[in-house]
Chain A
């Protein structure tokens, strides 16, 4: 998939350039793009390092655990098929807390652990269970409080107020997540109806 997208961006660009006579610009874009890619990555070191450092304190202080406990009612509501004391619920809640805090690096391993635990509860081993679909819906919508990467890139481009997007992000991500949860429920009911 990513191969096709990458190829399409190049080929459509070069073809358009040939048609419009902007070949010079394309050569420059290739060199300039590579340079920007490196600069951008290097510029991200500061904020990513700072955030990972802070999150390592949060983890050791039990803040992620604490958040997971607070989120427990949300978990039992979203995942009615998972027993509240099953390890799957623990992993799901930890994954949710990590997402919320913007600890993307920690969220993925926790999410994968949740998947492994959910697979133990899954009666059909090659077909996704209801709970798995919900976990995916929640993770693809990814509720976030602090969008660290975007803040870092905004800083690099000289934003006067890099954290100004925290508010809009919380609003948008909350709506997106709500939509994902509702759609997940909707399609679950719909798929049941199809089976009958």
Chain B
């Protein structure tokens, strides 16, 4: 099963590209022009990210360089050990439901210190990818139709985020074995 999914990981991108191009061609979509049209908006999307990433990268860098992050990690360690979550990803997990860019900034710090292909690097990647920014979605979705009483939606979102973190740990454990001691 792991081998199958690992192979799928390697093949999914080339396969998906081929399937989309061939389907488009068969259905008489002008694939080249359609691609260029869509790709145009990528530049703007990435540029719009700049102010957000600057704001978050600076804050997260300060938080990390000052030693405050180590402090938080240290305080949370006993609880996290009990939950089997590596303490190093705790700040990221806490920020994930609140700010996607913020947790992305934490993720890059893990990439920098441990490498993207390390156990923790894979875990950080999975955590970032496996969930969405709960608070943002709740605000935007409910805000758009003027719902004030959101009932249990926030509780469900945050609990599911916790499950997502635990599931990410499990998934990386399943694929890569236990976290190597460092």
Query: Would you call B83 an interface residue if the criterion is a C-beta within 8 Å of the partner chain's C-beta atoms?
Result: no
Chain A hits for B164, CB < 8 A: 141, 172-173, 175-176, 179
Docked CA distance A153–B115 (Å): 12
Docked CA distance A16–B13 (Å): 44
Query: Would you call B181 an interface residue if the criterion is a C-beta within 8 Å of the partner chain's C-beta atoms?
Result: no
Beta-carbon contact of A33 and B42 below 8 Å: no
Query: Would you call B179 an interface residue if the criterion is a C-beta within 8 Å of the partner chain's C-beta atoms?
Result: no
Query: Would you call B86 an interface residue if the criterion is a C-beta within 8 Å of the partner chain's C-beta atoms?
Result: no
Chain A min CB distance to B140 (Å) = 7
Q: Which of A68-76, A77-85, A161-169 contacts B (4 or more CB under 8 A)?
A: A161-169
Chain B hits for A177, CB < 8 A: 160
Docked CA distance A40–B61 (Å): 14
Interface size class of A (residues with CB under 8 A): 35 or more
Docked CA distance A9–B56 (Å): 9
Chain A hits for B132, CB < 8 A: 139-142
Beta-carbon contact of B46 and A41 below 8 Å: yes
Q: Which of B24, B57, B99, B150 contacts A58 (CB 8 A)?
A: B24
Known: A50-B42, A56-B34, A164-B117. Contact between A61 and B20, CB under 8 A?
yes
Q: Which of B56, B137, B168 contacts A168 (CB 8 A)?
A: B168
Q: Which of A49, A63, A140 contacts B20 (CB 8 A)?
A: A63
In A141-155, the 8 Å CB interface with B consists of 141-142, 144-147, 149-150, 153-154
Known: A115-B144, A127-B151. Contact between A146 and B12, CB under 8 A?
yes
Chain A hits for B23, CB < 8 A: 58, 61, 63
Beta-carbon contact of A45 and B46 below 8 Å: yes
Query: Would you call A123 an interface residue if the criterion is a C-beta within 8 Å of the partner chain's C-beta atoms?
Result: no
**Can you report 9 A-B residue pairs in the complex whose CB atoms are below 8 A from each other?**
A20-B66, A34-B57, A36-B61, A52-B45, A60-B24, A61-B23, A146-B13, A164-B10, A183-B159
Using a CB–CB distance below 8 Å, which chain A residues touch chain B?
1-2, 5-6, 9-10, 12-17, 20, 22, 25-26, 28-30, 32-34, 36-38, 40-42, 44-45, 48-63, 105, 108, 111-112, 115-116, 118-119, 125-128, 132-133, 135-137, 139-142, 144-147, 149-150, 153-154, 157-173, 175-177, 179-180, 183-184, 187-188, 190-191
